[in-house]
Amino acid sequence: MIAESTGLARKDLLGLEELTAEEIRLILRTAREFREVLDRPIKKVPALRGLTVANLFFENSTRTKMSFELAQKRLSTDSIGFAVSTSSVKKGESLRDTAQNIEAMRVDMIVMRHSESGAPRRLAEMVDAHVVNAGDGCHEHPTQGLLDLYTMQERFDDLRDRRVVIIGDIAHSRVARSNIHGLLKLGAKVGVCGPPTLLPMGLPELGVDVYPHVEDALAEADIINVLRIQLERMGVPLFPSTREYASLFGITPERLENAGHEILVLHPGPINRNVELDSRVADAPGSVILSQVTNGVAVRMAVTYLLAKTRLEAGHGAL
């Protein structure tokens, strides 16, 4: 009995930019099997018994944290959460201090959410433990990107040459970046759409098309990923009002109707209802927005499992 050997040949998951298309496909394939586990009467497997995971959320995020915790419990890991947002750590513990403390606790895997772009990368280089990026600043949110890809693949088996448009604040969105990298690797055609003040420099160099008008985006899109919009960043308003945003870029049944073809609508949540996304769209019978949440658990199980396996292999080699 010889098993296929197709692991993730990496210690950490920091972003989709650094993954190969093959690695992304492996994660999505594995997630499909975990998705089935979630429908079992007992939604838990003993696969990662003995693996200790620390969930370090230096920035509030109820949903992503819950999803990771659930994924870990489904795999029988021992998980601990640091309530960072309420402790003194919040303001000004250096990443090196964090790293040294984690190492001292003999943690095998760290799931990190941080307001600073690159913080998980820095941490990953300082610790032996696996590091999973649960969202860093405006950089990447790889598990969100993967669950978006998974959800898109549920509808369109092959994303090659599918037109996906990400709508909203591209400049400050880690979800947008992970989507862009992941989709391009899987051969999709990627566009973005939003107010010019929310579009960063260099998008064409990344291979991304810019749609100034949402109607044009919808006319060409097979899939749209609608981002949560924030009026202000660090006290600076980036567009005049949420009402104006809704009237220019909000996704309504009427706009979708005018596109003249079926469009799959994703939203990473939480939704600002009737701002970026009309409630009638969010709650439509075929909406996949809640499937995204379920798929998120499966994708995070797959990532945890595949990374943990590389650790076990390394540990085995050292024996």
Partner 1 sequence: MARSDLLIRGGRIADPAGDVLLPGDVLIRDGAIVEVASSIDADVPVLDATGLVVAPGFIDLHAHFREPGQEWKEDIASGSRAAVAGGFTTVCLMPNTVPALHDQERVRFVMARGREVGLADLRVVGAATIDIAGSKMAPLGEMAQAGCVAFSDDGHPILDSGLMRRILEYAGQFELPVVQHAEDTGLTRGGAMNEGVIATRLGLGAMPRCAEDIIVHRDIALLEITGGHLHIAHASSAVTMDLVREARERGLQVTCEVTPHHLFFDENWVASCHYDANYKMNPPLRASSDRDALIEACIDGTVDAIATDHAPHLPDEKEMGFGAAPFGVIGLETAFAAAVTVLLPHLSLPRLLRLFTTGPARVFGFDDRGRLEPGLRGDVVLLDPEAEFIYDVASSASRSRNSPFHGQRLRGRVVATVSAGRLVHGGGNRLH
Partner 2 sequence: MTTLQRKARIMDAHRMRRAITRIAYEIVERNKGTDALAVIGIRTRGVPLGQRLVEQIAAHEGEAPPFGYLDITLYRDDLQTIAYHPVVGPTSIPFNINDRHIILVDDVLFTGRTARAAISVLIDFGRPRSIHLAALIDRGHRELPICPDYVGRVVPTARTEAIQVNLSETDGEDVVYVCDLPPLTEPQS
Partner whose binding site includes residue 271, from partner 1, partner 2, none (CB under 5 to 8 Å by kind): none
Contact 299, 143 (CB under 8 A): yes
Shortest reach from residue 236's CB to partner 1, in Å: 7
103 touches partner 1 by CB under 8 A: no
125 touches partner 1 by CB under 8 A: yes
Partner whose binding site includes residue 48, from partner 2, partner 1, none (CB under 5 to 8 Å by kind): partner 2
Partner whose binding site includes residue 12, from partner 2, partner 1, none (CB under 5 to 8 Å by kind): none
State which residue, 204 or 286, has the beta carbon closest to partner 1. Answer: 204
- Does the annotation mark 130 as catalytic? no
Q: Pick from 95, 102, 131, 307: which binds partner 1 (CB under 8 A)?
A: 95
Q: Pick from 117, 291, 294, 310: which binds partner 1 (CB under 8 A)?
A: 117
232 touches partner 1 by CB under 8 A: no
Cα torsion through 213, 259, 287, 184, rounded to 10: -60
- Does the annotation mark 311 as catalytic? no
Task: Point out the catalytic residue in the list 11, 130, 141, 174.
Answer: 141
214 touches partner 1 by CB under 8 A: no
236 touches partner 1 by CB under 8 A: yes
* Residue 65 CB coordination number (10 Å): 18
59 touches partner 1 by CB under 8 A: no
First to last CA, the chain: 23
Shortest reach from residue 31's CB to partner 2, in Å: 9
State which residue, 89 or 312, has the beta carbon closest to partner 1. Answer: 89
Q: How far apart are CA 18 and CA 204, in angstroms?
A: 19
Task: Point out the catalytic residue in the list 62, 91, 106, 316.
Answer: 91
Partner whose binding site includes residue 224, from partner 2, partner 1, none (CB under 5 to 8 Å by kind): none
Q: Which of 193, 179, 180 is nearest to 250 (CA)?
A: 193
- Does the annotation mark 113 as catalytic? yes
Which region, judged by CB under 8 A, interacts with partner 1, from 183-191, 202-210, 240-248, 265-273? 202-210
Contact 62, 269 (CB under 8 A): no
- Residues from 132 through 151 that contact partner 1 (CB under 8 A): 136-140
Q: How far apart are CA 180 and CA 159, in angstroms?
A: 13
Shortest reach from residue 250's CB to partner 1, in Å: 25
Task: Point out the catalytic residue in the list 65, 74, 113, 177.
Answer: 113
Contact 13, 38 (CB under 8 A): no
Per CB under 8 A, residues contacting partner 2 are: 2-7, 30, 32-34, 36-37, 40-42, 44-48, 50, 75, 305, 309-310, 312-313, 315-317, 319
The set of catalytic residues is: 63-64, 91, 113, 141
Contact residues: partner 1, CB under 8 A = 17, 92, 94-97, 114-119, 121-122, 125, 136-140, 171, 174, 177, 200-203, 205-206, 233-234, 236
